[in-house]
Amino acid sequence: MGICSSSNDNSSDKKPRQEETKKGNNNENKIGDTNDGKNKNKNEYFQKNVVETDNANDININQNQLVVLNTGTPLDNYIIEKKLGEGAYGAVFRVKNKDTKQLRAMKKIIAKSSRDPNKEKEIMNEIEMLKSLDHPNILKVFEFYNTKEGYYIITELCQGGELFQRIVDNGYFSEEHAAYIMYQLLASVFYCHNLNIIHRDLKPENILIESEENGNLNVKVIDFGTAKLFDKNKSEKKVIGSAYYIAPEVFQQKYNEKCDVWSCGVIMYILLSGKPPFYGEDDEIVKKISVGQYDIKSDIWTKISSSAIELIKKMLDMNPMSRISAQKALNDKWFKKFKIREKFTNIDVKEMKKIMENIKHYKPQNKLQQAALALLVHNNLHLPEVKDIIKVFKTIDIDNDCRITKEELSVAYLKLYNVPDAESEVEEIFKNIDNDNNGYIEYEEYIRATIDKNKLLNDDVLKYTFKYFDKDNSGEITCDEIAKALFTGNDKKMSEKLTKDLMNEIDSDQNAAINYDEFKAMMAKLLK
């Protein structure tokens, strides 16, 4: 009856078990309709009242510029290898990029003719959301295609499949392994809530396994179709989500971001017991949730620690006002008991100093190089090296919000070098690293500065990056293409003079265009 209670029977027969386990993304279990977000298309180059600038420092490199909006079809650039999953509106495939040979996931969404307008909004919403989110436990998006047959989103690939399937296979997890997963989940939820985004459909089908280390699963949250930018002073009304995981106040149509914490509580309950806290037919589930009736005393619960049970109770608090926040939950003693934060930050001082040196010495030459590096990094976050340098990032990021402030960097300086007043040095570092000028060093900004550039500059990936700028495929990047690529849609636009100066710097044969060799030479300067 429960989503995972059947893990021991039917173990040789996959099909009936799948049906019995009742995935939350079946249509019947999906409650409410789609997104009501109000994302505008911000990426308009030809906009009124855009201010031009002669100062390169005014030009920001933004996270959401790194997603390629394509005009052709994905089959021009990708080979389909295997079907990975199916949603209500289309399938997800494993694909391989013909140029870079990198493996990706491709989410295909229905033909336009039969398209439901709500779904269309949901897709655009999903892309806008994923574009702006920069967290190691949230799926990265790379490209987007809008074709006659439908929409295609190219994202990073999670090789390990759904957490859902793991629960079905394993039955349940040890407390330590569950804590390792919950910590990553809550970290991504805290990150979203901090940016005023609610996910609204957290469940094990929307948590994918990226990799596995000694039984510990590294996970990523996916499916931001129902995510929404919320207003702190208002409450949400739309009943949305999958029955098992919906918070009671969502049925009352008056809720806020705490609904995600409830879903995390349900997920933690399932990880530890293999059974959902609220189960039965949809109406039965709704009834049980609205009175907060669940069992946490019998069977398996007698073997589970009181700190785990306490944390579940804090997350499954009927009252969203008193329900624990994702941030508080991350600091709960249950995680301390298993030293979970330490697992993500254990790096020795020598290694840490080496990476800090990279931070200090990173100095981009010009805006095109900076943008190209940003794109290279965005497409190479799967490199094994990233795992180590991220440990330093997490060590510096004391409050776990996945953004480093000047204060946090100063604290790290003091600890490592015993420099009490590193203010001017920290200012200088931010000037070079905070590429979007928002006062924080984000995940990818940090990786751009710290990663060993030798690992990035291989020909295949560099060609892919060159093509991104050479929009008309002429084999050369023109002034016009540079200006367009470096315009965020919100900030100042490069003046003609600034564009020409930049061109002159890179264009060694002085033909007013950058060919691949010139581009490569510019990138090679990163190695010095």
Ligand X SMILES: Nc1ncnc2c1ncn2[C@@H]1O[C@H](COP(=O)(O)OP(=O)(O)O)[C@@H](O)[C@H]1O
> Site residues (CB under 6 A) for ligand X?
25, 84-85, 87-89, 92, 105, 107, 139, 155-158, 162, 205-206, 208, 222-223, 225
Q: CB of 156: closest distance to ligand X in angstroms?
A: 6
Q: CB of 206: closest distance to Mg ion in angstroms?
A: 5
Q: CB of 152: closest distance to ligand X in angstroms?
A: 12
The string of DSSP codes covering 53-106 is ES-GGG----GGGSSEEESS-GGGTEEEEEEEEEETTEEEEEEEETTT--EEEE
Q: CB of 273: closest distance to ligand X in angstroms?
A: 22
Q: Which residue is nearest to ligand X (CB)?
A: 87
163 versus 371: smaller Cβ distance to ligand X:
163
What does 434 interact with, of Ca ion, ligand X, Mg ion, none (CB < 5 to 8 A by kind)? Ca ion
83 versus 313: smaller Cβ distance to ligand X:
83
185 three-class SS: helix
Q: CB of 413: closest distance to Ca ion in angstroms?
A: 15
What does 105 interact with, of Mg ion, Ca ion, ligand X, none (CB < 5 to 8 A by kind)? ligand X
Quick count: other Cβ atoms within 10 Å of Cβ 289? Answer: 25
Tell me 112's DSSP state: G
Of all helices (H) and strands (E), which one includes residue 169?
helix 163-170
* Closest residue by Cα to residue 164 from 225, 206, 216: 206
User: Rounded to an integer, what distance in angstroms lies between the CA atom of residue 75 and that of residue 97?
Assistant: 9
User: Rounded to an integer, what distance in angstroms lies between the CA atom of residue 90 and that of residue 262?
Assistant: 28
Q: Which residue is nearest to Mg ion (CB)?
A: 223
128 versus 434: smaller Cβ distance to ligand X:
128
- Out of 126, 134, 397, 481, the only residue in the binding site for Ca ion (CB under 5 A) is 397
25 versus 488: smaller Cβ distance to Mg ion:
25
Total residues found in the chain within this entry: 528
223 versus 249: smaller Cβ distance to Mg ion:
223
Query: What is the CA angle 128-132-137, rounded to 5?
Result: 110
Interacting residues with Ca ion between 405 and 464 (CB under 5 A)? 434, 436, 438, 440, 442
Q: CB of 205: closest distance to Mg ion in angstroms?
A: 5
- Out of 236, 260, 481, 507, the only residue in the binding site for Ca ion (CB under 5 A) is 507
User: Rounded to an integer, what distance in angstroms lies between the CA atom of residue 454 and that of residue 458?
Assistant: 8
Catalytic positions are: 201
Q: CB of 368: closest distance to Ca ion in angstroms?
A: 13
Q: H helices within 67-116, ranges in order?
A: none
Q: CB of 68: closest distance to ligand X in angstroms?
A: 17
107 versus 177: smaller Cβ distance to ligand X:
107
Q: CB of 61: closest distance to Ca ion in angstroms?
A: 9
Q: Does 206 bind Mg ion (CB under 5 A)?
A: yes
Using CB under 5 A, which of the segments 60-68, 202-210, 228-236, 389-397 binds Mg ion? Answer: 202-210
What does 171 interact with, of Mg ion, ligand X, Ca ion, none (CB < 5 to 8 A by kind)? none
143 versus 223: smaller Cβ distance to Mg ion:
223
User: Rounded to an integer, what distance in angstroms lies between the CA atom of residue 4 and that of residue 340?
Assistant: 26
146 versus 331: smaller Cβ distance to ligand X:
146
Report the DSSP beta bridge partners of residue 146.
151
* Closest residue by Cα to residue 289 from 235, 319, 244: 244
Place of tokens 């806008």: 128
122 versus 434: smaller Cβ distance to Ca ion:
434
What does 470 interact with, of Mg ion, ligand X, Ca ion, none (CB < 5 to 8 A by kind)? none
Region of 182 on the Ramachandran plot (φ > 0 left; ψ -120 to 50 alpha; else beta):
alpha
What does 275 interact with, of ligand X, Ca ion, Mg ion, none (CB < 5 to 8 A by kind)? none
Using CB under 5 A, which of the segments 131-139, 220-228, 443-451, 469-477 binds Mg ion? Answer: 220-228
Interacting residues with Ca ion between 137 and 176 (CB under 5 A)? none
The string of DSSP codes covering 37-53 is --------SS-TTPPEE
Structure tokens at 519: 């581009």
Going by C-beta distance under 8 Å and a sequence separation of 6 or more, which residues neighbour residue 28? 282
Q: Does 223 bind Mg ion (CB under 5 A)?
A: yes
Q: Does 399 bind Ca ion (CB under 5 A)?
A: yes
* Closest residue by Cα to residue 206 from 2, 17, 29: 29
In the chain, DSSP finds a helix count (H) and a strand count (E) of 21, 18
Q: Does 509 bind Ca ion (CB under 5 A)?
A: yes
21 versus 405: smaller Cβ distance to Ca ion:
405
Residue 228, CA atoms < 13 Å, CB-side half-sphere: 25
Quick count: other Cβ atoms within 10 Å of Cβ 479? Answer: 17
Q: Are β-strands 197-198 and 228-229 bridged in parallel, bridged antiparallel, or unpaired?
A: antiparallel
* Closest residue by Cα to residue 437 from 479, 401, 488: 488
Site string for Mg ion, 20-59 (x = CB under 5 A): -----x----------------------------------
What does 160 interact with, of Ca ion, ligand X, Mg ion, none (CB < 5 to 8 A by kind)? none
At residue 230, what are phi and psi to the nearest 5 degrees? -110, 160
User: Rounded to an integer, what distance in angstroms lies between the CA atom of residue 129 and that of residue 123?
Assistant: 10
Place of tokens 């751009």: 448
Cβ atoms of 7 and 169 within 8 Å: the answer is yes
What does 440 interact with, of Mg ion, Ca ion, ligand X, none (CB < 5 to 8 A by kind)? Ca ion
Place of tokens 């805006």: 367
- Out of 210, 249, 401, 444, the only residue in the binding site for Ca ion (CB under 5 A) is 401
Interacting residue ranges for Ca ion, rule: CB under 5 A: 397, 399, 401, 403, 434, 436, 438, 440, 442, 507, 509, 511, 513
Residues engaged in binding Mg ion (CB under 5 A) = 25, 206, 223
